[in-house]
Amino acid sequence: MGDVTDIRERGREETVVTTVPGAHAGRGRTVSLFWRIFSLNALGLVVAACLLLGPVTVSTPVLPAEALVVVVGLALLLVGNALVLRAGLTPLRRLAGAMAAADLLHPGARAEVAGPAEVADLIITYNTMLERLERERAAGAGLALSAQERERHRIARELHDEVGQTLTAVLLQLKRVADRTPEGLRAEVGQAQEATRAGLDEIRRIARRLRPGVLEELGLVSALRSLAGEFTTHGLTVRHHVPGDLPPLTEESELVLYRVAQEGLTNTARHSGADRAELRLRPVTGGVELLVRDNGAGLAAAREGAGIRGMRERALLVGADLHLGPGLETGTEVRLRVPATGTEGARR
């Protein structure tokens, strides 16, 4: 039974070590913190014993020369212990800093494996745990966003089929009423018609945002062009440059590109105070790059809200790189670089 336990323990150690590149080599060259401190203390005690047995003696009362030797020896021992502890605990301080700065929405950062064997084991375990957390978060975010898309489709369908049809019926009924309404009341009935028509248009606009049918029917290029036109409203002009010759993308990548562009333009329209925005999609080495830029107030010191966090989570789902920062002169710039795939052609 003891042999089986030893084999399992060795198996767990090998699994942990191979998780981080270079970890095995680092441990092979490392002396544990215990042996470092013990060796230094033992060396100091052995030297002190040899000196006391040899030329150094302590008289009563203590002579100044003897006190000086004892004080110098104690100081050297303390300095040596301090140096060993500082060298041994520095990797722990770096690990604490890495743990404090860790953000699952900015994956890939790992603590450097260094220091005594115990500290190296701790850092390896932390890096392994962080990798597992990043995988689990990405999987959980994928399930949550898939459920969110399904719920958006359901709400959009109900808005279009139920509320939209009801408002259409009300609009037709108001038209019949207007034909038989006395002259003095026709203006009020006309206002009710206009309000109903505006509500119907708003319902359709919300349904289109919830479920981008143009993306499913006509593809990414047409969807982004339509999105730019939708956000070109009073006070905001959105210029777009979306070529048709894009590398192959998966449906998930196209949906991520569309949602990030939609969120970027929504933030521009609501919060930036900009009057000009730009939407670009261009092929780059290994994929495509989406750019959403405006001339508004910029991010300043504002904290990232749910919209930006959602963009980061969507980018992680398809292995994309998302960068948010200031524009060329003013405003905000959103860059999303999505890798292409050679297994599925892009829809046009």
- Could you report the per-residue pLDDT of 317-334, keeping only the tens digit for each? 888 888 888 877 778 889
Q: Which of 45-49, 240-244, 302-306 has the lowest mean pLDDT?
A: 302-306
> In angstroms, rounded to a whole number, what is the distance separating the alpha carbons of residues 244 and 123?
48
DSSP character string of 90-138 = HHHHHHHHHHHH--TTSTT------SSHHHHHHHHHHHHHHHHHHHHHH
The per-residue pLDDT of the chain, averaged, comes to: 76
pLDDT score for 92? 81
Q: What digits encode the pLDDT tens for the residues 134-175?
A: 788 777 777 777 777 778 778 877 877 778 788 888 888 888
What pLDDT, on a 0 to 100 scale, did the predictor assign at position 342? Answer: 53
The pLDDT value recorded for residue 13 is 44
pLDDT given for residue 234 in this prediction: 66
Beta bridge partners of residue 280, listed in sequence order: 241, 291
Measured distance CA(284)–CA(347) in Å, rounded: 18
CATH of domain 212-348: 3.30.565.10
- Nearest-angstrom CA–CA distance, 48 and 207: 85
Whether 257 has a pLDDT exceeding 60, the answer reads yes
Predicted local distance difference test score (pLDDT) of residue 54: 64
Overall average pLDDT of the 177-204 stretch: 81
Give the predicted TM-score (pTM) of the model. Answer: 0.58
Percent of all residues in the chain with a pLDDT value above 70, rounded to a whole number: 82
Give the containing element (helix H, strand E) for 258.
Answer: helix 251-267
Quick one: pLDDT at residue 155? 82
Q: Length of the chain in residues, anyone?
A: 348
**Predicted confidence (pLDDT) per residue in 202-223, tens digit:** 887 777 777 777 777 788 888 8
Highest averaged pLDDT of the listed ranges 7-21, 124-138, 158-172, 252-266 = 252-266
Start-end of CATH 3.30.565.10 domains in the chain: 212-348
Portion of the chain with pLDDT greater than 90, in percent: 3
